[in-house]
Structure 1
């Protein structure tokens, strides 16, 4: 039996905190946290992708009034805060990630008054609202870009411009950089007679963060929304904020010979450059200054960085914590390292990798899905939905849920002709492989036509699976459903929101198909046992108490919450959370 143990000791002092690492285990001695200051450290964040969430006016597009209508659902689910994917004014080339005005709401979603109402109502429901902040690029329709194209004074270098180079008498891009959308990252602007750089779509030019005016302009955007009343930001695509100032060609990865393919390049000149971290640290200061000046509950900043963990952890700040970055940067290990066919060893290694690498003074977090990745039920198997929700609920730190995961939604059915994802619809031959539309289909509120999402024609087709997987059917007292399991998990997590002096976490491989996660909070012992295999197993789980009470069970379990057990037999893909007595 192989055990990986990650230990957190909290030693309460009046004003100081001390941290140490012993024998490979993680130990944290910390002060007692104010609940208002550190509400986010044990929060359940819920991502709303507004377009498919809830349509209030029958135009087939989700909107802010729709979110207001569904605040009771968020409260019932037990989430702490919700972050909204972009709602700002946009031509919608990339579903709002191409912003033409950072300080206004896109008419598809509503108005500034609608957002004010949402903030007011959410506060009444005890839910905090986080906005998606997209600093890497704007829309090519943004006023800044139009002024930069015209070389208006003060905006000449707001974006990344280059003359290119001449090869055999023809002007070509300055280097071999390839965008995330798998095409040259350079587009020639005829009016300015220069190339502009875009890490994403042609219509999404990158801002030039070597220009201090750009940095200050984006800080002002943050201040505007903090003054407006939001509780913080999810910062998009942070690894790409800076580029090599000499515009050198990116080297080929060993074994590759095609320089025009993105996955053949080692992105050493366009990703995770040192100035990028400094920009994030400056953004954090804006958030902290607002919190301290206004003496309000912590305004939080979380960052999106799909990158190697040794680089990812730098977005938190310096290793000693003296320089602060994000309150937390999304942990995508369950997305990037697990797929169908995963093993117990994979789960153990993924949790160990994160906890062993993140400096002990920083708060961990666990993300299962997002609008950019196939849904958990599709990616890891619908039979494992409860087990993975339990896993993220019992592990220390922040839990992040993408809308629909609480009911076990799977990918929807979308054809290339119906799709909207700009990186996929340009080539229908690869649409099924590349599109993100499948995880963006409308939320399943009920089993009626259009799943209760809209009275009109939905912007993406509603999945046929809505008839069998929907909130109305699952949100019934006494029914064994993914949603009821999720609500029980939110209640269970309250055990970790109280003050404590000892918090110990260990992940154990019981058998080739059964994983155990143990968490000790002071004298309380909590255990998750999860059978990922296709056969029933009787397991001798690791224990320190004489008897155990069942707290939460998966939908296929015969065990009942509140029951006592001495031995444990798990059906295929069954999972249970126990408390030692």
Structure 2
């Protein structure tokens, strides 16, 4: 475990000079903690996490020092895709609680100064949604089917799908219904795509946004924000033709320019509240176009996933940070930094795999191959992965912009690979016949106590299996241990609030491309050693007024150890 260096609990008074007088919108440099509700805490002992479970852990969340939580979907769902198949956008899944439970949780979080961001899934509904059930019953040519994307098939009797397009989760992107028509689903077949040219669809989502904003929600995370608008003018292109089309705003299915007409309407809704509601786009688009989603007249902020997909490599980290800060300046937004979330192998494991420092290898693909090959823990250098993960985390928390943390990373949790086929839930695994393992391994319920049933997640097991070694990472085991990962995260998040200044940084040359050093306004220095050899700090910096205030590994004197980050205050 890492050892954070000591700093007076009340921070040295001269560090307060880093604070600036103007108060920007809360989201610009927020630390946002993502909660996957079904795997956070289970209050009613049914094996599934719930909203009362979250409420019971608000003291823990407050102790972390986060500014906001982002809740993955908690709506009624058949769980064909972990809750991202929504049957009712304005209610709570009965297995997770009630609207009264939501209100109680929201009030308790707000009481502790924690904002709340909820997930909105606008590209598709569940096939259990009342609209889709109405469309099935109404038949061909009905008004109900116009809310979705239905087409006649091809070939004799229309028995073949309208196109050869593939779903993101594997298999055909079209599903045939009893009367012979086909509907489009870019994800699981239980997730029919909505027709965003239909005025009722647009009006209904405005109603949904107002429903949650009126309850006091502070912001929204927009799932696959780049996919809502589609041009399905006949004849439809083949998959091969789609692959050749440019991603410049004119593609029939992805990142169309006219999607921003939708978000301009949403922005009017957000701005009608005081304070205005915030939003962040999940938009997997060309980097040159991500700023369109982050403009003030659009959603206002967009996820930057570049570091999530980067090797543990200094020059790559520097390039990504430089490029993304330049883009945010062009959009009047702030950047977002992400190392783990509910869709990827946890970064403590990614960084422990062989070649994690090689920029020529995509770490997410390497991790996916590791899972396919059996996911043996013997193939992961767990100690090194943890060391690199905490170094990367302190680097990210030092950057200007907002940081998104995924539940469990503050415990140093690695990926769970030992899940039997019969216990898996991710539709990717089943639709690809096991050719892709899916995302279950990062969604395993959290360990709270080492010796309790389900490691304290709940009293009657967990919906995904927890391995025996999970107890090593339990919250209770790390509480009060100054050398634990949890203590490091708490220290970093609380200290970050005090040191945070204007959204600027200056790179300081180190003479080594595997050592990055930047300074923030107010004299807050961040030095990350991505290499295997120790790095000696410049004498003037090492002798600064504040000295090293935090480190991801034991740091003695003026030396930054291999694969470590230090924070230094000079004023």
TM-score by length of 1: 0.82
Match of 1:417 among 409, 422, 435: 422
Moved more, 355-364 or 107-116: 355-364
Structure 2 counterpart SS, 1:139:
coil
Cα distance in structure 2, aligned partners of 1:544 and 1:208: 60
**For 1:434-513, what aligned pairs fall within 5 Å after superposition?**
434-449=437-452, 450-476=454-480, 479-497=482-500, 503-506=504-507, 508=509, 510-513=511-514
Matched with 1:536 is: 534
Match of 2:348 among 369, 374, 377: 377
- The 8 Å contact of residues 165 and 239 in structure 2, kept in 1 or not, is answered as no
Cα distance in structure 2, aligned partners of 1:234 and 1:64: 18
Per-residue Cα deviation, 1:319-375 (whole angstroms, up to 9, x for no partner): xx5xx1122111111112x13xx3211111111121122315211111111100111
Cα distance in structure 2, aligned partners of 1:353 and 1:434: 32
Matched with 2:360 is: none
Cα 1:422/1:573, change in 2 over 3 Å: same
Cα distance in structure 2, aligned partners of 1:44 and 1:446: 25
Cα 1:541/1:241, change in 2 over 3 Å: farther
1:557 is the counterpart of 2:554: yes
**For 1:248-263, what aligned pairs fall within 5 Å after superposition?**
248-250=236-238, 252=240
Matched with 2:3 is: none
Cα 1:402/1:171, change in 2 over 3 Å: same
Deviation of 1:539 after TM superposition, in Å, equals 4.6
1:233 is the counterpart of 2:196: no
Cα distance in structure 2, aligned partners of 1:115 and 1:222: 15
Matched with 1:84 is: 71
Cα distance in structure 1, aligned partners of 2:46 and 2:205: 32
Cα 1:569/1:496, change in 2 over 3 Å: closer
Report which of the two has the higher share of helix.
2
Matched with 1:271 is: 254
**For 1:172-321, what aligned pairs fall within 5 Å after superposition?**
172-191=160-179, 193-246=180-233, 248-250=236-238, 252=240, 268-289=251-272, 291=273, 296-317=274-295
Cα distance in structure 1, aligned partners of 2:146 and 2:318: 48
Structure 2 counterpart SS, 1:51:
helix
Matched with 1:330 is: 303
Deviation of 1:535 after TM superposition, in Å, equals 3.4
Report which of the two has the higher share of strand.
1
Matched with 1:24 is: none
Match of 1:352 among 281, 302, 322: 322
Report how many aligned residue pairs link the two structures. 510
Cα 1:508/1:407, change in 2 over 3 Å: farther
Cα distance in structure 2, aligned partners of 1:69 and 1:33: 35
Deviation of 1:386 after TM superposition, in Å, equals 1.8
Match of 1:52 among 39, 55, 73: 39
- The 8 Å contact of residues 40 and 49 in structure 2, kept in 1 or not, is answered as yes
Structure 2 counterpart SS, 1:79:
coil
Cα distance in structure 2, aligned partners of 1:307 and 1:548: 42
- The 8 Å contact of residues 234 and 301 in structure 1, kept in 2 or not, is answered as yes
Matched with 1:163 is: 152
Flag the structure with more relative contact order, 1 or 2, with Cα contacts below 8 A and sequence separation at least 6. 2
Give unpaired runs (5+ residues) of structure 2.
1-19, 352-384
Match of 1:572 among 553, 562, 567: 562
Per-residue Cα deviation, 1:155-214 (whole angstroms, up to 9, x for no partner): 231001111333x665322223211112211111123x3111111100100110011221
Deviation of 1:84 after TM superposition, in Å, equals 0.6
Matched with 1:9 is: none
Cα distance in structure 1, aligned partners of 2:245 and 2:39: 35
